[in-house]
Structure 1
Amino acid sequence: MKPRIFHPDRREVLAGLLAGLGASAAGAMVGGATPPVTAQLALQARASTLALKPGQPATPIWELAAASHLRDVRLRRGDRCEVVFQNDLPVPLAPVWYGLNGPVTTDPLRGRAPAPPNAVETSIISVSNAGTLLADFRLFEDGLKHPARPLPVIAAETSPVAADRDEVLLIEEWRLRPDGTAVPPGQDPKDATPLYTVNGQTSFELSASGHQRLRLRFINGSQRTVLAIKLEGYDVRVLALDGQPAEPFSARNGALVLAPGARADAVVDAAASAQFLLHDGKAAQPIGSLKISDQLERRVPLAPPQPLPSNDLPERLDLRGALRFDVALGAPDVGWARPVNFSTASAPAFRARTGRTVVLALKNPAPVTTVFHLHGHPFRLLDKLDDGWKPYWLDTLAIEPGQTHRIAFAATASGRWLLESVATDWAAPRLVRWYAVE
């Protein structure tokens, strides 16, 4: 992919803004009035293209890109990051953060207007957790003229993690028309056919040395499809789900099943070349490969992977004293709305006091699997008998037709937060509600 080149004046604008931010950060440290800025990030909403079909013109897309980073965006837990966002697209947009829990700058649907075309805006985000994050435009689907690529963001742990390599694998889904153009999500795909990429490539190759330990951050960047991915013949050990550490465990049958927007950090010890296989619920297909180029000499054998450092989430949740609410996903008569029509003047799905445990009974009345995302707080998936929970945290959950799942979270971050619901149908609208922690 060849991203659109900055015009010199835009480069100067971004450079000047970042220089100014550095000066303001220094001033804050001297004055002591506010915590210092410890990281800076320049983001750009821009038009681009992606080569998806041999022999056809590159497909026009929109993307959220990091103008300040050549490769992955890497921050650190505890950073106070000042973000410069430049909108070079013809519709109002703003990045929405997934996995950035706790108090953050107000997102566009909770009161802050998205940036108009040609605008440059600044904001501050507090990186309270380490983990794999995602910044995206998916809340603005109603205005997108082309499919949009999200931006993975890594919030590194404050202490080292035992791995030789740390790689992001962003899986994306496209619906291509016969002429090579792509259908944005939320529209009828008609005669378009699905196609999947990893890091923008239809045939992804990851080169590694034998005996290297690889930390692989899998992200389902697709908009509608629950995907399973596996590295054929490997024991894939899961370290984190949706950016939150888990006690390491082996993926069932070696496959990671991810809802749209979900993330999984895993480790593999490279031994032999193998294929990455992707299953979209219909068929398995090779989507990339791990190629072993040489052998790394190790004097000491690799120890089993250890748990990641804690993000200080509560060890236990008070289910006996929890506030309990029923939430029917996507039902228009109970307050769900398209993002373009959303307003916090509508009634909240529920209200909770800070510090309380909240249990939600999520029911999917739709005839297809529906994906739920909770902003602001990670949650535990409760056991069927409501007497315990799975040993990991999530922020995204796929619920099959007619099923009800119960989740629980500690309402620690005050404010107004979003709930998202979208059916796994390309033409289905994305819907939102809100809840309050007071």
Structure 2
Amino acid sequence: MRALTIGRRAVCAGLASLPLARPSLAAGAAPLIARKATVQLAPDGYPASEVWAYDGQLPGPLIRARQGARLTRRLQNDLEVPTSVHWHGIRIDNAMDGVAGLTQDPVAPGGRFDYDFTLPDAGTYWYHAHTSSMEQVARGLSGPLIVEEPEAPDVDRDEILMLGDWLLDPESGGFMEPMAHPMMMSHGGRIGNLVGVNGRHDYALTAQKHERLRLRLINSANARIFVLRLQGMSGWTVALDGMPLTQPEVVETEIVLAPAQRVDLIVDVTAGEGAPAGLLMLRDDDSWEALVDVTISGRSARTVRGAPAALPANPKMDLPDLDGARTLTMAMEGGAMAGMESAMFEGERLGFRELVERGQFWSLAGQVGRSGTPFASLSRGEPVRLSLTNRTVFPHAMHLHGMHFREVLPDGGFGPMRDTILSLPQEPLEIAFVADNPGKWLFHCHMLGHAASGMTTWIDVA
């Protein structure tokens, strides 16, 4: 059992709530009800916590549908504040993207909104609140969305592992207040003191030696970057952010999963009965602990199988042709220990001290927060090269709505398709994409406290 300190007391690290292993909802099924619920997040002996959750479940109901299907869901808002739902990573119709104030009005308390869209891509995705998302996601409003390939890969089991953390007051069981604490907003973000998987502090699996599993990892945390390692298992990465790799890549090093990123692994269990196995997490003290314990019982085959086949490609995964591409540059500035000289905020240029007084700490391309003018106005089908310069002392998980992109590598090649990429301080980064989805699309840091305090902009595709 792993232990972290919460305030003055040590507890087992994790989340305790409903297990994810429950019947999935087909496309077009029951509505999503955003409401308050009381759950035992902390281990037994600590007070229960009031959360905001879809259908009162943490994580929210598993939505599973086939590629090409039409997904319809009615959001029913039983909270006392407005909300909306973003379908993260889905190349969706703009009106269904769920960004309050940009693609739709927020759904008022007692109100409803019908989401209705096709699912063009197979893969691992998720959904979460996108109104005051830093607070609403932190309080529990998120869930997994799985789009199945026409033909499933050759695996024995498909396991969804939704990673998350929570920042709780051990004395009351409530969330640490204030949500928008200046220290967290201006530093690494709201990082929890409890860590868990699928809503549990003690999530565990059983498996057989030589069994082959598909592990779908989703980082739903507000700001935590997970560094992970396989124990008693060997495997391959087959998809990132829902998009299949051309060929499976052997997992030889740690897996780094920034907020909002996903990775699909196909793993073979190599440990025998009684041997340790699971998914390990790197702690702050550089030690490793089990995030998911796997108990080995029996043997499914005498030998391991060969390397898995690649997953079938999704539509529109061709490498971009950058001849004549629009070139854009974006500097990330602000935050503690770096700051910025000045930036535009609500139509006027303010110095860093004035911005801090308004609870704003970050800027993108000299702009703090979403303005009425897009960062770029693009023609449909236009190729784009966007150079990102991180002048802060913190990493940022940059997420583009509505489209996927590829990193432009130093040798001129391209990385895999993604919707969220980790930008490290002082390390140049360039991404490329084709603006093939019309509408107003958000581009922001998915350390949600950073987005809420300035690191949010948008592009307009005509």
Residues 228-258 of structure 1: per-residue CA shift (max 9 Å, x gap): 12221432310100010012102242x2111
Secondary structure of the 1:83 match is strand
Alignment of 1:69-148 (within 5 A): 72-104=62-94, 105-107=96-98, 108-137=100-129, 139-141=131-133, 144=136, 147-148=139-140
- Aligned equivalent of 1:199: 198
Aligned residues with identical type, % of pairs: 27
Whole-Å Cα distance in 2 between the matches of residues 359 and 306 of structure 1? 32
Alignment of 1:7-86 (within 5 A): 39-40=28-29, 42-48=31-37, 49-65=39-55, 72-86=62-76
Asked if 1 retains the 8 angstrom alpha-carbon contact of 2:443 and 2:456, the reply is yes
Whole-Å Cα distance in 2 between the matches of residues 434 and 132 of structure 1? 24
Cα distance change of structure 1 residues 186 and 266 upon mapping to structure 2, 3 Å threshold? farther
Shift of 1:114: 1.6
Cα distance change of structure 1 residues 321 and 193 upon mapping to structure 2, 3 Å threshold? closer
Deviates more, 1:423-432 or 1:310-319: 423-432
Whole-Å Cα distance in 2 between the matches of residues 420 and 280 of structure 1? 27
For the aligned residues, what is the CA RMSD? Answer: 3.3
Amino acid at match of 1:295: R
Q: Are 1:409 and 2:454 matched, yes or no?
A: no
Equivalent in 389, 396, 399 of residue 414 of structure 2: 389
Q: Are 1:429 and 2:453 matched, yes or no?
A: yes
Alignment of 1:182-193 (within 5 A): 182-183=175-176, 186-187=180-181
Amino acid at match of 1:178: P
Alignment of 1:279-290 (within 5 A): 279=282, 282-283=285-286, 284-290=288-294
Q: Are 1:376 and 2:402 matched, yes or no?
A: yes
Residues 133-166 of structure 1: per-residue CA shift (max 9 Å, x gap): 1101255236649622410110111122211111
Amino acid at match of 2:314: N
Shift of 1:123: 2.1
Secondary structure of the 1:417 match is strand
Give the number of the structure whose residues are more often helix, by fraction: 1
Whole-Å Cα distance in 2 between the matches of residues 87 and 321 of structure 1? 46
Cα distance change of structure 1 residues 38 and 98 upon mapping to structure 2, 3 Å threshold? closer
Cα distance change of structure 1 residues 334 and 351 upon mapping to structure 2, 3 Å threshold? farther
Asked if 1 retains the 8 angstrom alpha-carbon contact of 2:222 and 2:447, the reply is no
Whole-Å Cα distance in 2 between the matches of residues 97 and 167 of structure 1? 20
- Aligned equivalent of 2:257: 258
Whole-Å Cα distance in 2 between the matches of residues 66 and 359 of structure 1? 42
Q: Number of paired residues?
A: 400
Equivalent in 315, 325, 330 of residue 328 of structure 2: 325
Asked if 1 retains the 8 angstrom alpha-carbon contact of 2:128 and 2:137, the reply is no
Whole-Å Cα distance in 2 between the matches of residues 106 and 98 of structure 1? 8
- Aligned equivalent of 1:357: 383
Cα distance change of structure 1 residues 194 and 161 upon mapping to structure 2, 3 Å threshold? same
Name the TM-score, length of structure 2 as normaliser. 0.78
Secondary structure of the 2:195 match is strand
Whole-Å Cα distance in 2 between the matches of residues 330 and 136 of structure 1? 27
Whole-Å Cα distance in 1 between the matches of residues 169 and 60 of structure 2? 31
Asked if 1 retains the 8 angstrom alpha-carbon contact of 2:164 and 2:219, the reply is yes
Cα distance change of structure 1 residues 329 and 73 upon mapping to structure 2, 3 Å threshold? same
Amino acid at match of 2:31: A
Secondary structure of the 2:31 match is strand
Secondary structure of the 2:132 match is helix
Equivalent in 143, 147, 162 of residue 151 of structure 1: 143
Shift of 1:61: 1.7
Cα distance change of structure 1 residues 188 and 410 upon mapping to structure 2, 3 Å threshold? same
Whole-Å Cα distance in 2 between the matches of residues 152 and 219 of structure 1? 8
Asked if 2 retains the 8 angstrom alpha-carbon contact of 1:99 and 1:243, the reply is yes
Deviates more, 1:278-287 or 1:128-137: 278-287
Asked if 2 retains the 8 angstrom alpha-carbon contact of 1:172 and 1:222, the reply is yes
Shift of 1:426: 8.4
Asked if 1 retains the 8 angstrom alpha-carbon contact of 2:132 and 2:452, the reply is no
- Aligned equivalent of 2:281: 278
Whole-Å Cα distance in 2 between the matches of residues 271 and 145 of structure 1? 36
Residues 403-429 of structure 1: per-residue CA shift (max 9 Å, x gap): 321000111111111101255978973
Whole-Å Cα distance in 1 between the matches of residues 454 and 86 of structure 2? 14
Deviates more, 1:104-113 or 1:349-358: 104-113
Alignment of 1:201-350 (within 5 A): 201-246=200-245, 247-253=247-253, 255-272=254-271, 273-279=276-282, 282-283=285-286, 284-297=288-301, 302-329=305-332, 333=343, 346-350=372-376
Whole-Å Cα distance in 2 between the matches of residues 282 and 188 of structure 1? 25
Amino acid at match of 1:371: A
Cα distance change of structure 1 residues 47 and 423 upon mapping to structure 2, 3 Å threshold? closer
Asked if 2 retains the 8 angstrom alpha-carbon contact of 1:327 and 1:363, the reply is yes
Cα distance change of structure 1 residues 63 and 372 upon mapping to structure 2, 3 Å threshold? same
Residues 266-309 of structure 1: per-residue CA shift (max 9 Å, x gap): 011123241321125553332221112222247x9623111111
Amino acid at match of 1:267: I
Secondary structure of the 2:291 match is strand
Cα distance change of structure 1 residues 417 and 225 upon mapping to structure 2, 3 Å threshold? same
Name the TM-score, length of structure 1 as normaliser. 0.82
Whole-Å Cα distance in 1 between the matches of residues 28 and 438 of structure 2? 25
Residues 49-87 of structure 1: per-residue CA shift (max 9 Å, x gap): 2332331112222123499x9963211110111111111
Deviates more, 1:216-225 or 1:103-112: 103-112
Amino acid at match of 1:59: S
Deviates more, 1:360-369 or 1:40-49: 40-49
Cα distance change of structure 1 residues 429 and 278 upon mapping to structure 2, 3 Å threshold? farther
